[in-house]
Chains A and B, each alone.
Chain A
């Protein structure tokens, strides 16, 4: 009985996976559409920076929601979506980075380095981006195998640090209306807090693997 349910979940999630793939691409698609139809503000760099940054961060947080969701709902198969969400997050953050590095600063290294040194939010953002690179590189099945599950899992704990840096990066550059970054901080605190709480629970029943 339980086995069939599990298999059913696998089928269901595999079926919705392409839908999630398309959904995750919509913000990028809309941005490109808006740029080409001129439906963009007078400062398109700001639009590009905001859309790519916000969606990157949302997806990072979403990947962190998968494990708690699995454990709470018992639908282990949700893990089938996590890699795609993570790689999509990286995709948006790469665009975010390139907007800043190329479109805004056009490889002006002196200005870029000054920016990183003088502004914490840029330093935090740059560190978070750098931490994402090894995670993206090791996201393939081959790399997981080569690293071995344990080392892979250890490396991917970087997500905890980079997600905090990402939220700080967002919070620090907001001028007045902190609503959105505070909401993200609260969600992130809940997701990370859940893990801390879980790790302190005496291992009961079957321990869930993450």
Chain B
């Protein structure tokens, strides 16, 4: 395995603008809340709360797995352009709607084919697994891409903690279902947009690959709600929809689990969803991608999103145009 060189510290100039942005958004949220007046229903959920935005992690470990050659996508773009259908299908709606999500308390249950199942409180997870910074390329199946400085920890370490048995061939992960806070989960005119809860899965060897992480933050701070707070999956060699957000359940399974998008449109989305410029999606050519934050300039898409050295061996002998 080839390790990537360490990324130098992020220049402070790249971080400061977010404060300005946060203030602006807070102002807008406050204004909106005032406009709605006293009839705000979520006020009754005073015991639940969103995590204070912008809370920084201390003692972040730099990871050798971080991409060194890539220019970071701005904090504003990373936090305002999101596919998170629990908060609406418009990519701008999560940034507007996700503030309703209360991420404390938050429990995550680990169950299935393992010797040490556990119901976690998110605070205990944060204490147990030291946070690292992982700068990863992020490639959406819709042919746009970003570079995100995630904060997270090895998914493999997390899974091993629960002592998976030999029957644990896959893991299945579920997103929270809470329509009163996740407005996108409320059925629309033609029923639900997706079949909730959002489900994703990985083969156990994929999940144990050192690149796979559970992310708990980005840009050095706790995960913004719209990016999947408080904990989400990041598998940088796969299309973004594999990165299940706001996870409440992890289950070790013997059978390959279904994933939401495969269920939605099996001829368009597969289980593996590896970034592959040679296998086109029916709606989008996957040969190139638009870099978010740049108006012109598509760039060629790389096999496994540039992580072939680390992950290609997982799929040796497999026909990737069938197992897409």
Residues of A within 8 A of B (CB): 41-46, 103-106, 108, 111, 114-115, 118-119, 121, 172-173, 175-179, 182
Q: Which 8 A-B pairs have the closest CB atoms?
A: A42-B81, A42-B77, A177-B89, A42-B292, A176-B193, A177-B193, A179-B189, A41-B81
Least CB distance, B212 to chain A, in whole angstroms: 25
In the complex the two chains form, is A182's CB within 8 Å of B193's CB?
no
Report the Cα distance A44→B297, complex, angstroms: 13
Chain A residues in 8 Å Cβ range of B264: 176
Interface of A is mostly: helix
Report the Cα distance A43→B288, complex, angstroms: 15
Chain B residues in 8 Å Cβ range of A176: 85, 89, 193-194, 264
Option from B80, B189, B193, B290 in Cβ contact (under 8 Å) with A41: B80
Question: B285: CB under 8 A from chain A?
Answer: yes
Question: B188: CB under 8 A from chain A?
Answer: yes
Chain B: number of interface residues, binned into ranges:
20 to 34
Given the known interface contacts A41-B80, A44-B295, A103-B296, the answer about A182 and B290 at a Cβ–Cβ threshold of 8 Å is no
Question: B144: CB under 8 A from chain A?
Answer: yes
CB closest chain-B residue, reference A122: B283
* Centre residue among A108, A118, A173, A177 by max chain B CB count within 10 A: A177
Chain A residues in 8 Å Cβ range of B189: 179
Which residues of B, 255-281, contact A by the 8 Å Cβ criterion? 264, 280
Given the known interface contacts A115-B285, A177-B89, the answer about A42 and B293 at a Cβ–Cβ threshold of 8 Å is yes
In the complex the two chains form, is A46's CB within 8 Å of B91's CB?
yes
Least CB distance, B140 to chain A, in whole angstroms: 10
Option from B76, B85, B295 in Cβ contact (under 8 Å) with A103: B295
In the complex the two chains form, is B290's CB within 8 Å of A104's CB?
yes
